[in-house]
Amino acid sequence: MDPKKVCEKSSAKKKMMSIELKREIIEKHEQGVQVVDLSRQYGRSTSMICTVLKQKESIKSVTPAKGLTIISKLRTSLHENMEKLLMVWVTEKQLQGDTLTQTIICEKARAIYGDLLKQTSKISIDEASEESFKASRGWFENFKKRTGILRKRKKQTSLDMFFSKRPTGESEKNVAKKAKTSEDI
């Protein structure tokens, strides 16, 4: 009896397309190039090309945030306004010397989004609702990338830790010896 052949799944990983590439595809299609030819030229499936062509109005009108070339979800202008206001708030707090954590920033983002949602009555319920923005960890990480917010941490050396924990009667030489021996371990 012959051994069974194991079927290998060759599912290709979904490739993201940059906005420039999507605009180029739309432009070529408007010049008369067929969908099949576009899919061969760019190495994408015809369904992906058709999806880009269906979304051509929104793709033409979208302006990505600074530093982004790929947009996986088309976001509303409400999100952009919220992030601009949040960035102003974060900058003010940093100038005041306040410590900002991820939790504080996410809470403020939800509050700003809720305020903007109440002020803007023209947006449809489907397009934006309070439940549509959760200020998740993923959103926060992407927000940091988009805006360039960096986390500043002060690194403590072993000597700094000993000086801060040292009893009042200990001499500097004894502290340095203890730090050296603890580093050797």
Q: With 60 as the cut, is the pLDDT of residue 172 above it?
A: no
Average pLDDT over residues 126-141: 73
Q: How far apart are CA 33 and CA 52, in angstroms?
A: 14
Average pLDDT over residues 160-172: 47
The length of the chain in residues reads 185
What's the pLDDT tens digit per position in 24-44?
999 999 999 999 999 999 898
Q: With 50 as the cut, is the pLDDT of residue 184 above it?
A: no
Task: Tell me 183's DSSP state.
Answer: H
Between 164 and 47, the more confident residue is 47
Look at residue 64 in the predicted model and tell me its pLDDT: 63
Look at residue 40 in the predicted model and tell me its pLDDT: 93
What's the pLDDT tens digit per position in 69-119?
566 565 667 888 898 999 999 999 989 999 889 999 999 999 999 898 888
- Using a 10 angstrom Cβ sphere, with 0-12 exposed, 13-18 middle and 19 or more buried, the burial of residue 49 is buried
Q: Which bin fits 83, alpha (ψ -120 to 50), beta or left (φ > 0)?
A: alpha
Q: How far apart are CA 5 and CA 162, in angstroms?
A: 64
- Using a 10 angstrom Cβ sphere, with 0-12 exposed, 13-18 middle and 19 or more buried, the burial of residue 149 is middle
Q: With 50 as the cut, is the pLDDT of residue 132 above it?
A: yes
Please state whether the predicted TM-score (pTM) of the whole model is above 0.75. no
* Phi, psi at 86, each rounded to 5°: -65, -40
AA identity, residue 3: P
Instruction: Please give the C-alpha separations between residue 163 and each of 68, 149, 169, 173, 183, in angstroms, as whole numbers.
Output: 45, 31, 12, 11, 15
Look at residue 161 in the predicted model and tell me its pLDDT: 46
